[in-house]
Amino acid sequence: MKHTKYKPYPRFDFNERTWPLKYIEKAPAWCSVDLRDGNQALQVPMDLAQKVEFFKFLVEIGFREIEIGFPAASDTEYIFTRKLIDDGLIPDGVAIQVLTQARGHIMEKTFEALGGVKKAVVHLYNSTSVLQRDVVFKKSRQEVRELAEYGARRVLELAEKYGRERFVFEYSPESFTGTEMDYAAEVCNAVIDIWKPSTENKCIINLPSTVEMTTPNVYADQIEYICNSLNRRDSVIVSLHTHNDRSCAVAASELGLLAGADRVEGTLFGNGERTGNADIMVIAMNMYSQGIDTGLDFSDIERVVNMYESSTMLPVHDRHPYAGSLVFTAFSGSHQDAIKKGMANIGDNYDVWEVPYLPIDPADLGRSYEAIIRINSQSGKGGVGYVLERKFGIVPPKPMLQEFGGTVTRVSDQSHKELEPGEIYNLFEREYINLESPAALSRYSEKTDGEGETAVSASILVNGEVSEIAGSGNGVLDAFCKAVSEKLQISFDIENYNEHSLELGSKSRAITYMNISDQQGKSYFGAGVSSSITKSSIKAVISAINRMLQG
């Protein structure tokens, strides 16, 4: 690891910063660059049909500015541009955006491709960074500025030829973050002075971190410095275009908005060259989670994922923010317990979403609550209880649930896999419900005298042999327990029991949870299910006794 061969990013001392005291309170203008930055980063770029489908999808979810490519760079991108225009695929209120270098024939070809368009953003760029000037272009600061000025003038001339009212101009000092800030402001102002934007006809100055070279706070300082330095600031839309080389593109964009930017360029799921672009979906959903209307619709996130994956052949990671298949899923026992209690606290009719570990309501993204809690060896009783209650209407008492949670953990650990809800239910049923070995109930009858004493007679099978039992007590359960204790020669006390219905309606079944203790005070749990509450209680006692007899 030869860290000494790298030099630190030059210090940028900007003491006039105000952005740390600000908050994001409204959404910026959004521009998708999926069909340009995203597409050029693919091993197998999208074909024409895929591009058209993806364009329509971007429009559908709310993008009003979409960069579609570099029409002068290849016949494929030229044809795509013409198809969108000639086939009337660009709705009113939507502007396509195209890239062009500050080179004469490229700009001419670009405007030719845009002939007849209703509204387009012409995105002019040239690299201004020290490294690009010195190594790639071998040009001085003056020569690079003159190239930008030439491009700005030529774009203006061509726009007049094709209908000035159809076009919005955008300029990017490419590799902005590798450029001296005073020089970046100088070049941008030179372009602005040529275009002479107004408050009714604004231009866009895009400030890209073409390579992310430092921390987001420095980028924010640079954005605020440029915002303060631009001519005609009220007639300029300051745009951000961050890359993710340091995995901070989202943070850099958010801080850049605090610093005064008005617009964000990015891609769905951050697809782009090297480590990618800013993930525009994440930025938007971050704002949404703060109560801001973003103007973008991600209410069917599965459809967004499917469109992206089928178009790019790239997977969305299971833990990707908001969109990952596991992003709202908790396996940790403590997380599950907190989520279970949070969901119970807000109920079904809530005004404000406040659930631990879930910053937004999964339903807002079209996700169900069924996958919020999934069970493996890391899970606890809270998660197990959530699954049993949500999926099967089973609500065991806390001590019973704690015991069963340990069983689930052991089974999952031994099998080295996650347990599906059906497997958890089957395990609970096998452990507790209507157990019939070594003892099983064949029949019972009850009779209550005028003084409230209840007599019970019953037939039970014990290790396959029928036995008749009888007893009396203060209610059916008390009478049955006395009878079965005498027959089996066992002693136990009922510590606790509770019951509830499993389904609604006339054919509803009841489930009873029983907790008994032996002479040493050891607890045993059982459960009974029946259409009769009384019978479910008796079955629960037998289940608990069987667990006691089995040790």
Burial of 153 (0-12, 13-18, 19+ CB in 10 A): middle
* pTM of the entire predicted model: 0.84
402, 455: one domain: no
136, 274: one domain: yes
Which amino acid is residue 252, in one-letter code? A
Which residues touch 530 (CB under 8 Å, ≥6 apart)? 509, 510, 536, 539
Burial of 304 (0-12, 13-18, 19+ CB in 10 A): buried
Measured between alpha carbons, how far is 43 from 314 in angstroms, rounded to an integer? 10
468, 494: one domain: yes
Check residue 481 and give its pLDDT.
94
Map residue 180 onto helix, strand or coil: coil
Q: Retrieve residue 275's tokens.
A: 């480590």
Map residue 360 onto helix, strand or coil: coil
Q: Which of 432, 461, 492 is the last residue of a domain?
A: 432
Measured between alpha carbons, how far is 529 from 544 in angstroms, rounded to an integer? 13
Burial of 470 (0-12, 13-18, 19+ CB in 10 A): middle
Looking at the structure of the chain, the number of domains it has is: 3
Q: Specify whether the CB–CB gap between 40 and 273 falls below 8 A.
A: yes
Which residues touch 419 (CB under 8 Å, ≥6 apart)? 375, 376, 408, 411, 412, 427
Q: Which of 99, 111, 103 is nearest to 160 (CA)?
A: 111
371, 485: one domain: no
461, 420: one domain: no
Residue-wise pLDDT tens for the chain (551 aa)?
Answer: 899 999 999 999 999 999 999 999 999 999 999 999 999 999 999 999 999 999 999 999 999 999 999 999 999 999 999 999 999 999 999 999 999 999 999 999 999 999 999 999 999 999 999 999 999 999 999 999 999 999 999 999 999 999 999 999 999 999 999 999 999 999 999 999 999 999 999 999 999 999 999 999 999 999 999 999 999 999 999 999 999 999 999 999 999 999 999 999 999 999 999 999 999 999 999 999 999 999 999 999 999 999 999 999 999 999 999 999 999 888 777 888 888 899 989 988 889 999 999 999 999 999 987 778 777 777 777 888 888 988 899 999 999 999 999 999 899 889 888 889 899 999 999 999 999 999 999 999 988 876 778 999 999 998 889 999 999 999 999 999 999 999 899 999 999 999 999 875 556 789 999 999 999 999 999 999 999 999 999 999 999 999 999 87
391, 489: one domain: no
Torsion of the alpha carbons at 129, 122, 34 and 252, rounded to the nearest 10: 40
390, 416: one domain: yes
User: Any bridge partners for residue 238, and if so which?
Assistant: 205
Residue 226 lies inside a defined structural domain of this protein: yes
Domain residue limits at 494: 439-549
Q: Which of 285, 278, 282, 365 is nearest to 325 (CA)?
A: 365
Q: Which of 273, 232, 231 is nearest to 249 (CA)?
A: 273
170, 226: one domain: yes
pLDDT in tens, 168-188: 999 999 999 999 999 999 999
